[in-house]
Structure 1
Amino acid sequence: MTVMAERASSQLSVAMFERIAEFAEREDETVRFEFIDGRIGIKKVTNGSHGEMAMWLVFRCKQARPDLTLNTTGQGLKVEAYRKGRARPDAVLAPVGYFNGQGDWADPDGVLMAVEITSYDSDTHNRDRVEKPRAYGEAGIPVYLLIDRDHLSVLVHSDPDPEVGYRTTHMSKLGGKVTLPDPVGIELDTEELKRFVD
């Protein structure tokens, strides 16, 4: 579940946001903060099915690409044009060891894929289907994978563009085969994910 608080980016600097997030996350370990499109987002702990989907993807990625790690710890990324946003994807695919020493908000240049799994909350449409694809594409992340539990679909965004986000989006119904294009280069059979939709 995510709650968004409106803030004009001119009123709240990235540095101020990082200080607020560091303090608040230290006080309450069940929430994570994001700063996208000038808005603070509060990401709550997800349900068990959400976590099972993420772990399913971890195993599939590791089997196909042992040289990569799908990080599901809430690693933050500097996103949007000029790295002015801060996001915590549900998972981030990068070479083994890429995040070592990078701190709470890593540079996205070595990230191959950002992953979001929709939550059943009122802001999931705006956050996961509108803001995140634009922010990740502007940051140059090659692939954005959205597992959309509401629409029982998987969307693969690729060909990032710093002006518009992603130029290419392929949608498949949950249960179909999905190709994650290079530099990821993994094919997923999403049939098994259907059992985690509640």
Structure 2
Amino acid sequence: MTPRTEQHRPQMSVEEFEELERHAPETVRLEFIKGKVQVKAVTDGNHDHIVAWLQRLCMQHRPELWLYGDRGLKVESYRRGRVRPDGVLAPFGFPKGHGDWSEAEGVLMAVEVTSYDSDTHQRDRVEKPCAYAAAGIPVYLLIDRDDGTVTVFSDPEDGRYRLQLNKPFGDLVALPEPVGIALDTAPLKDLAR
């Protein structure tokens, strides 16, 4: 077997991962990306405040939507993965009856806020854009506390986002349709490193 073939073999089945995740302690957040189990860092206060800030803005501008935190998503076309974005923008009531994992259909935007761990680059900047695009999520918003930027990925096609806009904290950032919200990112300056 070639190293490339081994690289693409999942560590376990999705069903085995879901069972493992169900029994993990509450202090551990697990994801299943590209066939590998990944531990997602537990958030800090500034991370949580950023998600709450974004949730408030979404609610003010689009009251028919809700930014669900840590909602489990199936990203089936991306190696039958399972992810827990920091935020999932969808119509209010979206996860009703879904259990632990929701289909990505109906999600308008996935949100990640970088954590200060060694896997952030690979997970949030490389793998998640591919997973969310492959699942057909129209917008992926990455709030990158490491470099003080907001990156908006949009227009998913063939498993990747065709458009990517990167702005420094402090700039006005327009989230494209179907989100249609403009973010004044100045408050993020005080919440980065």
The alignment's TM-score, normalised by the length of structure 2, stands at 0.93
Q: Is 1:139 matched with 2:146?
A: no
Amino acid at match of 1:196: L
Q: Distance in 1 between matches of 2:141 and 2:10?
A: 30
Structure 2 counterpart SS, 1:81: coil
Amino acid at match of 1:184: V
The Cα shift of 1:10 comes to 4.1
Q: Distance in 2 between matches of 1:10 and 1:33?
A: 15
* Match of residue 164, structure 1, among 159, 183, 190: 159
Q: Distance in 1 between matches of 2:8 and 2:118?
A: 21
Q: Is 1:71 matched with 2:72?
A: no
The Cα shift of 1:68 comes to 0.2
Stretches of structure 2 that go unaligned for 5 or more consecutive residues are 1-5
**Partner in structure 2 of residue 59 of structure 1:** 56
Q: Distance in 1 between matches of 2:92 and 2:23?
A: 29
* Match of residue 184, structure 1, among 172, 179, 188: 179
Q: Distance in 2 between matches of 1:144 and 1:172?
A: 14
Structure 1 counterpart SS, 2:98: coil
* Match of residue 38, structure 2, among 36, 41, 46: 41
Structure 1 counterpart SS, 2:23: helix
C-alpha contact (below 8 Å) 2:55/2:67 kept by paired residues: yes
The Cα shift of 1:164 comes to 3.3
C-alpha contact (below 8 Å) 2:34/2:79 kept by paired residues: no
C-alpha contact (below 8 Å) 1:80/1:134 kept by paired residues: no
Structure 2 counterpart SS, 1:110: coil
Q: Distance in 2 between matches of 1:110 and 1:155?
A: 22
**Partner in structure 2 of residue 102 of structure 1:** 98
Q: Distance in 2 between matches of 1:11 and 1:147?
A: 29
**Partner in structure 2 of residue 14 of structure 1:** 14
C-alpha contact (below 8 Å) 1:8/1:39 kept by paired residues: no
The alignment's TM-score, normalised by the length of structure 1, stands at 0.91
State the number of aligned residues.
188
Identity %: 56
Stretches of structure 1 that go unaligned for 5 or more consecutive residues are 1-5
Runs of 4+ in structure 1 deviating by more than 6 angstroms, as ranges, are: none
